[in-house]
């Protein structure tokens, strides 16, 4: 048992994160580690923010940066009744109301500083340096207030229950916070995903603590900020339903509590729309939020429909209505086992796996997915960095790299190649994926301590690879394929007949890896259904 505990402590042993944070092991200085992680991750986010953003200098439509700015302009200047109606072709508001309120607050704050940034119509396409700084600042602020505290609370909660050392908990938190995809999309490309994800983590935290109604409220806030959070909903539903119906027994007050909290918070979010614009305003917002008129996939995305579209031209063969139906069937079939497993085994350690499996099946099989949606499955997957099982850590780090890789076409378009490269190397290096480099290629006196240099020679795990030889093969060959595709994409022109060939290869590889990972999460769920949090 004693040995087992020690293993728990050193989940990221032989990683630079461990080397950096281990001097702070004494009890009196542990709190420094927390501040250092948070501040350093904020510094990195700000530094990424120096780069360009989506749609910079590309009139007339610009990109996501302009969309977010435009929503601030809309909400500050127009009455609520017009928010979902105003000049729809030019970045009309198509996110749920909480995003609109969030934009409203930030827009007010911005107008306080410089009213020109959010003048109705005349401010379109504003991209001044100070405006960019302000917008970047609002993303950092939203993340620092919501996402980061939620993640740290989660890692602490899980770590404490399992006897992980505080430094181990902080290392897990750092591994999650340095997840490159979210940083690049939020602080480079420009979006506010961290708000949605942060609220979801709060919902999970509340479930861990057994506060069911607050969890429901947090989750409602999450998907009324961005509808993508609905990818999680079956699992939250299954878990809460099971907790109030069967495990351990029927619990009417809890059921009522959850129901009332959900309805009330949902009502509260939509109430302003109804009060100031009537029912048809609410319907318009719903119509805007779920645009079924668009195609089965947008751009190129690493999911089933886009990849198999190479073989079967869906848009020619089937009508949109049929496609919607098929995608719904496929998604439900994909997520149902996860739903059932969580319903019958509503255990805390099942939550991240269940959320990962469920949201991944949405990503792979549902209608109208775009490449940024991978952030949704990536959140519960990254939360698994709390695990101390080497195989789990390896899989998580692998799928993080794959996800980052599938974002490459988008990031290239945004001109964030430098940031992509730096963050990919930095995040992998921090969690020890490159630790094999250190003892082998560095002069002896340069090998850093205490962990990397002191690992005994028999300790061979100097990069995150699972024990299973098959998985090892899959992971290494996928990395090789990624390298090849990168080289092709950067230096070789695609054949004229297929201008999107490299992007398609990217998507196909991404889909393959995501699919395998999705199966693995099912395997894990099945395997862990009778285990405890201790074995996470």
Residue 283 binds another protein, judged by CB under 8 A = no
Q: Does 107 bind another protein (CB under 8 A)?
A: no
Burial class, 322, CB count within 10 angstroms (exposed 0-12 / middle 13-18 / buried 19+):
exposed
Residue 439 found at the interface with another protein (CB under 8 A) = no
Q: Is 36 in the site for another protein (CB under 8 A)?
A: yes
Distance CA 116, CA 109 (A): 12
132 binds another protein (CB under 8 A): yes
Residue 54's SS3 state is coil
In the region spanning residues 397 to 426, those forming contacts with another protein, defined by CB under 8 A, are 418-419, 422, 425-426
CA distance 465 to 472: 6
Of 1, 57, 129, 530, the one binding another protein by CB under 8 A: 129
Q: Are 387 and 351 in contact (CB under 8 A)?
A: no
Candidate residues 50, 283, 312, 483; the one interacting with another protein per rule CB under 8 A = 50
Choose which of 279, 311, 321, 456 interacts with another protein (CB under 8 A).
456
Q: Give the residue, chosen from 57, 89, 317, 445, that forms a contact with another protein under the rule CB under 8 A.
A: 445
Residue 180 binds to another protein (criterion: CB under 8 A): no
Q: Under the criterion CB under 8 A, does residue 449 sit at the interface with another protein?
A: yes
β-pair partners for 297 = 369
- Residue 78 CB: number of other CB atoms within 10 A? 14
318 binds another protein (CB under 8 A): no
Hey, what are 316's tokens? Answer: 């020619």
Q: How far is the CB of 452 from another protein (least distance, A)?
A: 8
According to the 3-state scheme, what is the secondary structure of 211-274?
A: CHHHHHHHHHHHHCCCHHHHHHHHHHHHHHHHHHHCCCCCCHHHHHHHHHHHHHHHHHHHHHHH
Compute the distance between CA of residue 144 and CA of residue 375 in angstroms, rounded to an integer: 18
Q: In the beta sheet, which residues pair with residue 369?
A: 297
CA distances (Å), 298 to each of 152, 205, 410, 458, in order?
34, 33, 12, 49
Candidates 58, 61, 108, 133: give the one binding another protein (CB under 8 A).
133
Residue closer to another protein, measured from CB, 13 or 86? 13
Contact between 115 and another protein by CB under 8 A: the answer reads yes
Residue count, binding to another protein (CB under 8 A): 64
39 makes contact with another protein (CB under 8 A): yes
Binding site for another protein (CB under 8 A): 3, 6-7, 9-10, 13, 16, 19-20, 23, 29, 32, 35-36, 39-40, 42-44, 46-52, 112-115, 129-130, 132-134, 136-137, 140, 390, 418-419, 422, 425-426, 429-430, 438, 442, 445-451, 453-456, 458-461, 467
């Amino acid at each position: 048992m004693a040995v087992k505990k020690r293993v728990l402590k050193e989940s990221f042993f032989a990683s630079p994160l461990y080397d950096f944070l281990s001097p702070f092991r004494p009890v009196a200085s542990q709190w420094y580690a927390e501040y250092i992680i948070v501040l350093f991750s904020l510094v990195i986010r700000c530094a990424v923010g120096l780069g360009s953003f989506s749609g910079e200098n590309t009139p007339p439509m610009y990109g996501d940066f302009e969309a977010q700015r435009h929503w601030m302009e809309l909400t500050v200047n127009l009455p609520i009744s017009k928010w979902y109606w105003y000049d729809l072709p030019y970045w009309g508001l198509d996110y749920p109301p909480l995003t609109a309120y969030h934009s409203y607050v930030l827009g007010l704050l911005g107008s306080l500083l410089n009213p020109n940034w959010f003048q109705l119509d005349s401010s379109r396409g504003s991209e001044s340096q100070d405006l960019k700084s302000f917008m970047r600042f609002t993303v950092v602020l939203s993340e620092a207030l919501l996402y980061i505290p939620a993640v740290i609370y989660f890692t602490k909660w899980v770590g404490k229950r399992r006897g992980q050392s505080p430094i181990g908990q902080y290392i897990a938190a750092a591994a999650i916070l340095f997840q490159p995809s979210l940083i690049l999309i939020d602080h480079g490309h420009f979006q506010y995903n961290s708000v949605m994800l942060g609220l979801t983590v709060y919902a999970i935290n509340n479930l861990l603590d057994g506060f069911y109604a607050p969890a429901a409220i947090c989750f409602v806030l999450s998907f009324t900020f961005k509808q993508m959070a609905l990818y999680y909903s079956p699992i939250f539903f299954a878990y809460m339903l099971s907790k109030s119906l069967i495990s351990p027994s029927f619990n009417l007050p809890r059921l009522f509590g959850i129901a009332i909290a959900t309805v009330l918070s949902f009502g509260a979010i939509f109430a302003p729309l109804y009060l100031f614009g009537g029912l048809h305003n609410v319907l318009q917002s719903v119509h805007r939020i779920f645009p079924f008129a668009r195609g089965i996939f947008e751009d190129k995305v690493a999911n089933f429909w886009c990849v198999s579209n190479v073989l079967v031209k869906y848009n020619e063969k089937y009508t949109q209505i049929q496609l919607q139906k098929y995608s719904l069937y496929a998604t439900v079939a994909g997520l149902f086992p996860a739903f059932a497993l969580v319903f019958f085994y509503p255990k805390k350690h099942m939550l991240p796996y269940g959320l990962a499996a469920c949201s991944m099946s949405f990503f792979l099989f549902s209608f109208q997915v775009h490449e940024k949606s991978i952030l949704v499955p990536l959140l519960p997957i990254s939360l698994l960095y709390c695990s101390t099982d080497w195989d789990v850590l390896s899989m998580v780090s692998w799928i993080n790299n794959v996800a980052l890789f599938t974002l490459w076409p988008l990031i290239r378009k945004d001109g964030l190649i430098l940031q992509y490269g730096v963050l990919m190397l930095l995040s992998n290096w921090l969690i020890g994926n490159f630790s094999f480099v250190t003892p082998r290629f560095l002069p002896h006196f340069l090998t850093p301590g205490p962990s990397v240099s002191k690992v005994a020679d028999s300790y061979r795990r100097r990069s995150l690879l699972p024990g299973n030889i098959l998985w090892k093969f899959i992971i290494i060959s996928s990395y090789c394929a990624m390298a090849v595709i990168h080289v092709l994409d950067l230096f070789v022109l695609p054949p004229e007949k297929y201008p999107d060939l490299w992007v398609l290869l990217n998507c196909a590889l991404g889909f393959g890896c995501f699919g395998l990972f999705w199966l693995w999460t099912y395997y894990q769920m099945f395997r862990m259904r009778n285990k405890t949090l201790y074995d996470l």
